[in-house]
A and B are shown apart, each in its own frame.
Chain A
Amino acid sequence: MTPWRTGLPLILLALLLVGAAPLRAAPTPLVVEAALDREVVAPLLEAFRAAHPEIALDFRDRTTLEVDGRVAEADPAPDVVISSAMPWQMARVNQGYARRLDSPTARRWPAWAKWRDEVFGFTFEPIVMAYRLDLSRHMTPPQTHADLHTLLTTERDTLEGKVTTYSPLESGVGYTLHQQDARYTPRFWDLVAGMGRVNARLEGSTRAMLEGLSDGRYWLGYNLLGSYAMVWAQEHPEVIVQVPKDYSLVMMRMAFIHRDAPHPAAAEAFVDFLLGREGQRVLAGQTPLFSVRPDIVGPFTAARLRDQVGERLFPIPLNASLLAFVDPQRRAAFLERWRREFSRAD
């Protein structure tokens, strides 16, 4: 073989590599700031990475209040913001931090689960009570809010220090849930007073409450995220999840694309995936986050939950009324009332 003959294939190979280089270009980074347990949502992220290998997903799991701070302060801004603190998400959208998503999937998304086509509620998580089996040996476990109130009054000594609930002070979700409860009935304040009387422990996350139940520190938890609790209960038989039979709040994780997203195309692809058939199927089948879409079949769907629980599900309305909850004066007044009721001595 003459030297030039060996050279030709080499040159061709080099050309091929140069030509192929753009196809293997550096993946587009995508920063998602989320208040959503990485472990819970892992199947969804895996599915997205598989569907979009050209996007390098950077999923950052934080608390709701941290996520809210990142919206305004992070530089560069995150691409997608996900949080379960619905009023804060809503306030950010109202401040103009969200970018409109105009895609077929977004347009088809149910109207009650989106706002301005900018922010989308993509999960359907019931708020539940959970108790330890120990509880049922001493008393009839509560099935309604009234039952709970009665127990807090009649079994005050037994339950002393054994009740836990979300802290409205430390957690955005906890605050939202308490606000929403208070909107439905003034008797909620009796419940707060009752919890104050048994010195209920305030936790910052559902996980902490579930761990406390499994440890035996707590017997009864109120206002837990059903999504986490149901998965926990499957692995921890000592914990029983009870969807309240009078009414059950439903919380939605809200996702929006940041107005100043550095990678808007990737961000749109991600949110589209969240709302799309594939993403929702993963949510319904492999995570306990519950799919919103009525056309998805799986163990965790809003439709199936409604079949099981009936018409007692009260999704926290995704509309402008949420903005009232983040009004500082209103929040301060609410928390002051909460503290007053919690420490009411009678």
Chain B
Amino acid sequence: MIEVTGSLKRRLAVWLLVTVTGLGALLMIEAWRSSQRAAERAYDSQLEAAALTIAEAVQWQRGEPLIEVPAAALQILATRHQERVFYAVLDAGGEAVSTNLPFVIKSGWRERVAEAPLALTARLDGEAWRLYGREVDSAGWVSQEPVQVWVGHTRAGRMALADELFERTLTRFVAMVLLAGVLMALALRVALGPMRRLRRVLRRRAADDMRPLDARVPEEMRELAQTLDHLFARQRQSREALLRFTADASHQLKTPLAGLQSVSELALKSEEPADWRAALATVHEGAGRTSRLAGQLLSLARLRHLGEADEVAPLDLAAALRESVLDWAGREAARDHDLGLAPLAAGPVWVRAEGWAVRELLGNLIDNALRYTPPGSVITLGLEILKGREGRGEVALFVEDDGPGVPAEARERLLQPFERGGRQDTDGSGLGLSIVDSIARRLGGRLTLAAREPHGLVVRLHLPLCDPEEVP
């Protein structure tokens, strides 16, 4: 079922939005702070210039510092934003020699300024001011004490400059984001182009067209295209297998039917009831074989086209094996063979399987062994508990015989339908192992064929063990 979970474009847009918003917020905070810093630096240097200008005007008269405040210093302080201005010249004791506003310069600030020039923010009349102080060593004839020059102004210019800088950054950022968004949308269209092309190619395909794809795709879609190609190839193979199977099945059914036809024709021409009887017996035998063949074909087809396993339940494989062997040992077909059971471990062996499937599988395996081995052969069935992969237990069900065996090159083919391992001397249909293989796959197991020393064949079916309490 195809479930549509959102759109790629929307998802990308949301990602872009989230990223841009998150990064943008960080960026803007940083931009704001750096605008502030830049504005502070720019205007602090004006404060410094003003302080130096005032410091230049400090002179000593009769042991007292005397300052004629230079008008230029005040204009530098005021800046073009017409700030309110403050200046103070303090003597060594912190007393104001000259000042224009009642700013209190704290003694802590004075001590720090004695070390190095200092810029700080303070408040007066509920308004924020930026102050700057520096100490000036000046030598008079009487006194050589240092004086401190403090200047300051309100912050309108700083705020305006910071706003202006920030606004510029913000404008640029927004423009960039918009541009990136537009480019992203375009890029998305271009990037999704191959997807649309592939869609068109697929849509145009005829229903029975199983050829590999003929499309140009980017690297990211190579896997998808390859998977599609694999899917097509598998479908092609499966269709071919189906056709071959149908052809083979028809062919297999045709031979006994043709036999029946010729036998019955001969019988019809004869007037002898004895001939009729002999013909009828042949017809009966032939019909029986044909019906068995048809039954096997049916069960193979059913196995192949059955849906998911639905009746699986924990099943005691040991019990099923014992039952089947007992059943077959009593049959007519096993009269000439030594059919036996290897010693089984005590207690049940649990696998998940349908009962009918296991019985069908065991029946086919035993039937096969009986058919393809000469009379007097020893056929042994048994179970081996193995340590499976991924820590899960595994059980191997084996059927071994001391018959002629199968050449290695023919063994793999044995699993194909109608394959008899080069043996045309039996009346088997060649479907048995194929059915077994199908059932093994169905149960999640695997089938292996191996030679037995000195001669003979071992068929092994590996099945995963299960916990009997396990609820499906």
Contact = CB atoms under 8 A, between A and B. Distances in A.
Contact of A96 (B66, B75, B127): B127
B82 A329 contact: no
Interface string A69-101: 000000000000000000000010111100000
A329 B78 contact: no
Interface stretch (B36-44, B97-105, B172-180, B271-279): B97-105
Interface residues of B, number: 21
A94 B100 contact: yes
Given A94-B85, A333-B68, A327 B98 contact: yes
B218 interface: no
A294 interface: no
Interface string B94-138: 000110110000000000000000000000010100000000000
B43 to A, nearest CB: 15
Given A327-B69, A330-B68, A321 B84 contact: no
B74 interface: yes
State the majority secondary structure of interface residues on B: mixed
Contacts of B75: 319-321
A115 interface: yes
Interface in B75-93: 75, 77-78, 82, 84-85
B60 to A, nearest CB: 13
A329 B73 CA distance: 16
Given A91-B100, A320-B75, A327-B100, A116 B82 contact: yes
Contacts of B84: 93-96, 116
Contacts of A322: 71
A93 B68 CA distance: 21
Contact of A323 (B67, B68, B74): B74
Contact of B98 (A91, A93, A115, A329): A329
B26 interface: no
Contacts of A323: 69, 71, 74, 85, 100
A116 B85 CA distance: 12
A324 interface: yes
A7 interface: no
B101 A94 contact: yes
Interface string B48-82: 00000000000000000011111111110110001
Nearest to B81: A116
A195 B75 CA distance: 32
Most chain A CB neighbours (cut-off 10 Å) among B69, B73, B125? B69
A328 interface: yes
Interface in A324-345: 324-330, 333
B83 to A, nearest CB: 8
B55 to A, nearest CB: 15
Nearest to B79: A320
Nearest to B74: A320
Contact of B101 (A95, A183, A328): A95
A252 to B, nearest CB: 16
A24 B97 CA distance: 56
A105 B73 CA distance: 31
B98 A321 contact: no
Given A94-B85, A95-B101, A323-B100, A329 B69 contact: yes
Contact of A324 (B71, B101, B125): B71
A96 B70 CA distance: 22
Nearest to A323: B74
Contacts of B72: 321
B66 A324 contact: no
Contacts of A320: 71, 74-75, 77-78, 82, 85
A329 B98 CA distance: 7
Interface in B190-245: none
A328 B78 contact: no
A94 B83 CA distance: 8
Interface string A300-336: 0000000000000000000111111111111001000
A247 B264 CA distance: 149
B97 A329 contact: yes
Contacts of A91: 100
A324 B67 contact: no
A322 B78 CA distance: 11
A326 B101 CA distance: 12
Contacts of A94: 84-85, 100-101
Contacts of B71: 183, 320-325
A35 B68 CA distance: 28
A329 B125 contact: no
A146 to B, nearest CB: 25
Nearest to A117: B82
Nearest to A333: B68
A96 B97 CA distance: 22
B100 A330 contact: no
Given A321-B75, A323-B74, A329 B66 contact: yes
Given A94-B100, A321-B75, A330 B85 contact: no
Nearest to B72: A321
Contacts of A324: 69-71, 73-74
A327 B87 CA distance: 10
A321 B78 CA distance: 9
Contacts of A330: 67-69, 98
Residue of A91, A183, A323, A326 with highest tally of chain B CB at under 10 A = A323
Interface in B119-178: 125, 127
A323 B101 CA distance: 11
A95 B69 CA distance: 17
A319 B97 CA distance: 24
Contacts of B100: 91, 94-95, 323, 326-327
Interface in A207-240: none
A319 B79 CA distance: 10
Interface in A110-129: 115-116
B75 to A, nearest CB: 5
Interface in A142-183: 183
Nearest to B66: A329
Nearest to A330: B68
Interface string A270-285: 0000000000000000
Contacts of A327: 67-69, 98, 100
B66 to A, nearest CB: 6
A324 B72 CA distance: 9
Contacts of A96: 84, 125, 127
Contact of A115 (B66, B82, B101, B127): B82
Interface string A53-77: 0000000000000000000000000
Nearest to B126: A96
A321 B76 CA distance: 9
Interface of A: 91, 93-96, 115-116, 183, 319-330, 333
Given A96-B84, A324-B73, 17 more contacts: A91-B100, A94-B84, A116-B84, A319-B75, A320-B75, A320-B82, A323-B74, A323-B85, A323-B100, A326-B100, A327-B98, A327-B100, A329-B67, A329-B68, A330-B67, A330-B98, A333-B66
14 contacts: A91-B100, A94-B100, A95-B84, A96-B125, A115-B82, A116-B84, A319-B75, A320-B71, A320-B75, A320-B78, A320-B82, A321-B74, A323-B74, A323-B100
In order of increasing CB-CB distance, the 7 nearest A-B pairs are A320-B78, A321-B71, A324-B71, A320-B74, A327-B69, A116-B82, A330-B68
